[in-house]
Structure formats: C-alpha cells, structure tokens
Amino acid sequence: MPTSAVGTMASLGIVSKLVLLVLLIFSVVSWAIIIAKWRGFRAADREEQRFLNAYTDTKDRDDLRKQARRITVSPSAAVFLSIMDRIAPGHDARHAEDTPDRQYLERVVRHVMEGQISRQESFLPFLATTGNITPFIGLLGTVLGIIDAFQEIGRMGTASISTVAPGVAEALVATAAGLLTAIPAVIAYNYFLTRIRKSVFRAESFSIELLNALPTRTKVETRVP
C-alpha cells in the first residue's frame, strides 16, 4: 500500500482522477479570482481615499473634476463626476436655477452606484458556485471510489482491513479535495461582500454630502385650474 501522497494519487482510478481534475480547475480559477479581486479592492480603497482627500483639500471644482477623471476605480469619484457632468459646464453651481432638481440627481447617483456594485461583484458568482458545488463533486468522487472499493473486495473475495482500507482512503481524497476547494472560495466570497458593502456605504455617504452642498432645486408640480 503506498503511503505517500504521490503514491495515493497515482493509485486512484480514472473516475477519481477526473473528479480531482475538475476540482483542480475550480480551485485554480477561484484563487485567480481571489487574488485579482483582492488587488482590485486594495487599489479601489487607495484611490477612494485619494479622491476624498482631494475633495476635502481642493476648493476649485474644475480642478477637482480633472483629478477625479484620473481616478478610475473610486466609487465616490464616479458619483462626483456623474453629478458634475450634469451641471451646466462653466458655472459654479451657486445658482439653484441652473442646477438639475434633487430627485433627478438622486436617480443619477442610484444608477452610478448600481454600476459600481455590478463592477465590484464581477466574478463573485463563480466563487459562490465553487463554494456550493465542489463539496458535492468531491462527495460524488468519494461515492464512486467506495463503489470501486467494494467491487475490488468482491473480486478478491475477502473483506480484511488490508483490502478495504486502501480503497476507502483513496475515495476520501475526493471529499477532502472538494472541501479544500470550497472553503477558501466561501471565505473570500463573504469577505468581498463585506468590502463591497463598506465601499457602497462610503460612496452613498459622500453622495449625500455632495448633494447637500449643491444648491439643488426641488421639482415643483404646478396644477392647472
């Protein structure tokens, strides 16, 4: 009976090897997404802080708009640009009659935030899928491996521990592989959702502050007698 991990892998049947190959693909793709998203959120946090500092320190809105255009992954910068782009170019937003109504700007902010959330949630469904199905794929490999082990017992005509143990051990490798694939994906998925909620809350707080700073007018309906 081979005792090393390499020996165990080499002794697996074709079905078990196919199951492990599928799990390996899920694991590699999941880790690639985890690393890419982690780097993306770090970059977004840096640019978010950079923009908020610029918003606090810069008094000229035109200069701030130029800085915001160079900040590509900050949700607050995207909200700021979406609002500023809908204010008539060249005026300083001091006159309410030149500014779009508050309800319209709030709809613009919601649209921008939905786009930001969609961008930040990209590829997360794959992590959720990995966390949900890979344990079952591993369990399937284990069941098929145990079936093969019992068939081997039937062919040998004995149920001694030396006959049963190797087949069961090989079958359980698939379950372990499924769990090792699913656990990091689930942890990363929940972690990234938390990061997204924090990012959205920060951007929404900024949008409220920005809208309150603008002399936006309230849309008034007129009734015809």
CB-facing half-sphere around the CA of 98: CA atoms within 13 A: 12
The 10s digit of each residue's pLDDT in 75-99 is 999 999 888 887 755 444 444 445 6
* CA-based torsion, 68, 71, 76, 81: positive or negative: positive
Cα–Cα dist 13/146, whole Å: 11
Helix (H), strand (E) at residue 49: helix 14-57
Give yes or no for residue 164 having a pLDDT over 90. Answer: no
The 10s digit of each residue's pLDDT in 185-213 is 999 999 999 999 999 999 999 988 888 88
Q: Which residue has the higher pLDDT, 13 or 132?
A: 132
Q: Which residue has the higher pLDDT, 85 or 218?
A: 85
Mean pLDDT for the stretch of residues 108-123: 91
The 10s digit of each residue's pLDDT in 43-64 is 999 999 999 998 888 878 788 8
pLDDT band at 153 (very low <50, low <70, confident <90, very high): low
Task: Please identify which residue in the block is written with the tokens 């015809």.
Answer: 224
Cα–Cα dist 130/124, whole Å: 10
Domain residue limits, the chain: 11-213
Query: Across the chain, what does the average pLDDT equal?
Result: 80
